[in-house]
Amino acid sequence: MPLHLTEQERAMLAGERGPAVQMALRILTTMAEVYAAERLLEIESAHIDGCLYHGEAGLDFALRLLEGGASVVVPTTLNVGALDLLHPEYFRGTRQFAENARKLMDAYQQMGCQPIWTCAPYQTAQRPRFGAQIAWAESNAIVFANSVLGARTNRYGDFIDICAAITGRAPASGLHLTENRRGELLFRLVDVPETLLREDVLYPVLGYLIGKASGNRIPVIEGLPPGASEDQLKALGAAAASSGAVALFHAVGVTPEASTLEAAFQGREPRQVIEVRLPDLRQTLAELSTAPDREIDVVALGSPHFSLAEFEALLPLIEAHPPGPRVEFIVCTNRLVYAALQARGMLEKLKRAGVQIVVDTCVVVTPIVRARHGVLMTNSGKFAHYSPGNIGLQVVFGSLLECVRSAALGRVWRDERLWRAG
């Protein structure tokens, strides 16, 4: 079927709303034809990943849009940039890179995007309603919006994301359509101890296992507790989107499109049933570490960005076990959480205990970590996946408590109770 455009969309394509809109819609219609979409749909919001500087091509594209009069027409938030604009002294790259990164961040603000600079816009005021059609980039934001909020977005990347925001359109394909949101694989938790199901550390491990097995198929999880928190689901989705290409998962009795197993599969049978037992989780736990338990150089938390609730869990631990002088302890978050920490008097306590808090960016996408070799410890499945390739540090994965205690000792400390049977 040929792509059908409305009269308004044809006017955009003809240049009646300016060259930037014309170029953006031309790119979108080309992608729509690739996706075999029959129409475009109107979106309610966008989240932009193109604001992270990777090279001059991205900057040239943004500046060309600006020259053409680009302005977003839906509420649009910005993912992390390459600089912490509140703490520019943290940046350890070249002056030219920093200048270009700042120009790119400025360009997207000039287009009307909201400068929240976070990979977790869903934990700010930007929370799409259930069923909302949106165009979001950033893998963990995509999977959270689809899975936990029940909004609808495909996996949009650089350039396509801002084109959607400028035109207010996206191709009617993929996860925008109900029939494409049904589950395909069933992951059934079997004999996983109730104590472990309540632990935060389970969720990135489970997500990493599911992502590797799912690829880009839609997993359904049976056996998670109904009270699983947003931060736990955030960690699960981020890990699944890192080890695989998961853009949507359903958790039976937990996520909004999976009130029952039948609802998650839209009345169909799963293509495959995979039982997940404690030994499977232990094996995945081991895979998340690329170095043996030994001395560590860095602890990095906050991928996705740390929430206020996560800081509230961290503060008493870090006050009881402040990091040793040799270990960098870095937490990434957004400006809204940073301001809340400041207002509650928590920011000064964290800094006094030796915590470096980074906003606007992330340590695996820009040079902030002082150590150039050695071992980074984290409780983030996403950090664990990307750190060796992105910043050249080996990784040890552990729980929040394990990270804090290890930073205090300067070597890995393990909570032996976590992964016991029964």
**DSSP per-residue letters across 29-57:** HHHHHHTT-SBEEE-SEEEE-TTS--SHH
pLDDT at 372: 87
- Residue 301 β-bridge partners: 331
pLDDT at 158: 85
pLDDT at 20: 98
pLDDT at 283: 98
pLDDT at 2: 86
Whole-angstrom Cα Rg for the chain: 22
pLDDT at 159: 92
Q: Is the pTM of this model over 0.95?
A: yes
- How far apart (Å, rounded) are the C-alpha atoms in residues 178 and 253? 19
How many CB atoms within 10 Å of residue 392? 13
**Tens digits of residue pLDDT in 94-106:** 999 999 999 999 9
Q: Would you write out the chain's pLDDT as a tens digit for each of its 422 residues?
A: 689 999 999 999 999 999 999 999 999 999 999 999 999 999 999 999 999 999 999 999 999 999 999 999 999 999 999 999 999 999 999 999 999 999 999 999 999 999 999 999 999 987 999 999 999 999 999 999 999 999 999 999 889 999 999 999 999 999 999 999 999 999 999 999 999 999 999 999 999 999 999 999 999 999 999 999 999 999 999 999 999 999 999 999 999 999 999 999 999 999 999 999 999 999 999 999 999 999 999 999 999 999 999 999 999 999 999 999 999 999 999 999 999 999 999 999 999 999 999 999 999 999 999 998 999 999 999 999 999 999 999 999 999 999 999 999 999 999 999 999 86
pLDDT at 125: 80
Closest CA to 151 of 38, 202, 75: 75
- How far apart (Å, rounded) are the C-alpha atoms in residues 187 and 181? 16
Q: Sheet holding 219-222: strands in order across?
A: 250-251, 219-222, 185-189, 272-276
Closest CA to 132 of 101, 87, 91, 175: 175
What would the CATH number be for the domain defined by 7-178? 3.30.499.10
pLDDT at 329: 98
With respect to CATH, is domain 298-409 assigned 3.30.499.10? yes
